[in-house]
């Protein structure tokens, strides 16, 4: 089911006016609106959600592209977002959405944890809606918030859970300095000698990461673990545009591994069929009534992952979120 033209108009109207949120670029509005549309919310509900959410947003000033702008040298510089946006706006005027993403995505993959996976997720929703303006924003966002955590090459024959917990003793009592998720992730990455770390599973598959991610989210509905669920869904959507899919999977796993250490969760939960009686249509109805953008997005991602993989854990996670 495609996103309605009216929904695209609502998204683009706000992007032109005030795409900032909390002095950062973590504007969830476009993603939430696409989710509402996909979950079956009518246009009146979308208008109401926009009116409520727009009060959180701040004015954004666009810039002309500088003649000395360098794409690679500016990666990871938040202040360069306006320049990246101008760059991608210009590129998309000459190339298709598919060509633009395919041309740049492999350069961005090493920084896949950008803004705690927000940029990855935003790009996936932009692809879902086939919205050129949102693709430009998402790619610019990813480039400006690019977060390189490391690049270990050693493989491990341990299970995913064993690899996730192999430094449990180190991070169980780790005292994080004040900061947001990305700051904590940088602190974890800085403690490791990546060249000596065997954290890449021999049998690394997105399906396995997705299953673990939703089970860990059920153990602890931590904000970071929520991004693991929506992040694996997003990666599935962008992978067709990626040339080196194995490398993309490895970088995502590294980012998830690092993010996981900050949560101190250590064990996954499996679903209880007794609490998964709510119908999918009822989940959709309840989700569309929510004013919480994370709830709306999580329910949509869980239902899409359930449709793709068939794991009941996704249904349970969605139903718990809207209880």
Question: What totals of helices (H) and strands (E) does the chain contain, helices first?
Answer: 16, 4
pLDDT of residue 18: 47
- 248-259 per-residue burial string, b: 16 or more CB within 10 A, e: under 16: bbbbbbbbbbbb
pLDDT of residue 297: 95
Q: Give the tokens for residue 101.
A: 């993403």
List all residues 6 or more positions away from 30 whose beta carbon is below 8 Å from its beta carbon.
11, 14, 15, 122, 125, 126, 129, 131, 134, 137
Averaged over 13-19, what is the pLDDT?
57
Tell me 24's DSSP state: B
Averaged over 132-141, what is the pLDDT?
93
**Is residue 20 helix, strand or coil?**
strand
Average pLDDT, the chain: 88
Query: pLDDT digit string (tens) for 268-322?
Result: 776 555 455 678 999 999 999 999 999 999 999 999 999 999 999 999 999 888 8
Q: Per-residue confidence at 21, pLDDT binned at 50, 70, 90?
A: very low
Model confidence, pTM: 0.92
- d(CA 251, CA 263) in angstroms, rounded, equals 19
Query: Do 222 and 265 touch, CB atoms closer than 8 A?
Result: yes
CA-based nearest residue to 35, from 319, 292, 314: 292
Instruction: Quote the distance between the C-alpha of residue 36 and its chain's center.
Output: 17
List all residues 6 or more positions away from 76 whose beta carbon is below 8 Å from its beta carbon.
111, 144, 145, 146, 147, 148
- 272-295 per-residue burial string, b: 16 or more CB within 10 A, e: under 16: eeeebebeeeebbebbbebeebbb
pLDDT of residue 22: 41
List all residues 6 or more positions away from 175 whose beta carbon is below 8 Å from its beta carbon.
none
User: In percent, how much of the chain has pLDDT > 90?
Assistant: 65
CA-based nearest residue to 140, from 91, 68, 183, 95: 91
Query: pLDDT digit string (tens) for 55-82?
Result: 777 777 788 999 999 999 999 999 999 9
Query: pLDDT digit string (tens) for 228-247?
Result: 999 999 999 999 999 999 99
**Is residue 286 helix, strand or coil?**
helix
Give the helix, strand, coil percentages of the chain, each rounded to 5: 65, 5, 30
């Amino acid at each position: 089911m495609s996103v309605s033209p009216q929904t695209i108009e609502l998204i683009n109207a706000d992007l032109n006016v005030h795409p900032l949120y909390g002095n950062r670029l973590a504007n969830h509005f476009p993603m939430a609106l696409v989710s509402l549309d996909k979950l079956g919310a009518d246009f009146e509900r979308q208008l109401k959600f926009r009116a409520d959410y727009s009060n959180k947003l701040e004015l954004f000033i666009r810039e002309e592209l500088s003649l000395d702008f360098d794409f690679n040298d500016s990666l990871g510089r938040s202040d360069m977002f306006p320049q990246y946006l101008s760059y991608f706006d210009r590129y998309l005027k000459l190339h298709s959405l598919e060509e633009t993403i395919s041309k740049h995505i492999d350069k961005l993959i090493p920084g896949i944890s950008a803004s705690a996976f927000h940029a990855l997720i935003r790009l996936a929703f932009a692809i879902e809606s086939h919205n050129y303006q949102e693709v430009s924003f998402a790619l610019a966002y990813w480039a400006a918030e690019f977060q390189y955590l490391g690049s270990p090459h050693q493989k491990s024959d341990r299970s995913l859970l064993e690899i996730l917990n192999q430094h449990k003793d180190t991070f169980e009592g780790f005292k994080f300095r004040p900061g947001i998720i990305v700051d904590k992730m940088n602190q974890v990455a800085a403690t490791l000698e990546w060249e000596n770390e065997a954290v890449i599973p021999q049998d690394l598959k997105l399906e396995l990461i997705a299953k673990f991610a939703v089970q860990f989210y059920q153990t602890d509905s931590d904000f970071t673990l929520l991004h693991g669920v929506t992040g694996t869904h997003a990666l599935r959507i962008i992978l067709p545009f990626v040339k080196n899919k194995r490398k993309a999977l490895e970088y995502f796993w590294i980012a998830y591994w690092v993010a996981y250490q900050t949560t101190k969760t250590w064990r996954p939960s499996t679903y209880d069929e007794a609490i998964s009686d709510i119908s999918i249509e009822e989940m959709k109805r309840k989700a569309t009534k929510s004013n919480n953008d994370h709830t709306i997005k999580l329910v949509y991602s869980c239902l899409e992952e359930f449709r793709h993989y068939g794991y009941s854990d996704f249904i349970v996670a969605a139903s718990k979120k809207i209880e």
